[in-house]
Amino acid sequence: MSLFIILKKAKLIRNYFLIALLYCSLYGCVSYSKKEFRKEYIKLNEHTLHMLNGKFKLYPVKRFQKETSTDNCIRYTNLYQNIVDENWNSERKADSLCTHNNTYSVALTFKDNKNLRIKLIENTTIIRDTTLSGKYKNGMFYLDNKDISIHGIPFLFGGYRSDKRRIGMTKDNNLIVNEAIGNEGAILLILAAGYQYNASYEYERIQ
pLDDT one-digit tens code per residue, 145-197:
877 666 555 555 556 667 899 999 999 999 999 999 887 665 545 555 567 88
In three-state secondary structure terms, 200 is strand
pLDDT digits (tens, 9 = 90+) for 53-62: 999 999 999 9
Single out the residue of 175, 179, 174, 93 nearest to residue 142, CA to CA: 179
Report the alpha-carbon distance of residue 162 to residue 30 in Å, rounded.
7
Whether the CB-CB separation of 201 and 177 falls below 8 Å is answered with: yes
d(CA 79, CA 107) in angstroms, rounded, equals 10
Distance between CA atoms of residues 177 and 145, nearest Å: 14
For residue 153, the model assigns a pLDDT of 55
Which of 157-172 are b and which e, b meaning 16 or more Cβ less than 10 Å from the residue's Cβ? ebbbbbbbbbbbbbee
> Would you state the pLDDT for residue 146?
77
Rounded CA-CA distance 207/200 in Å is: 21
Q: Which of 59, 80, 64, 105 is nearest to 203 (CA)?
A: 59
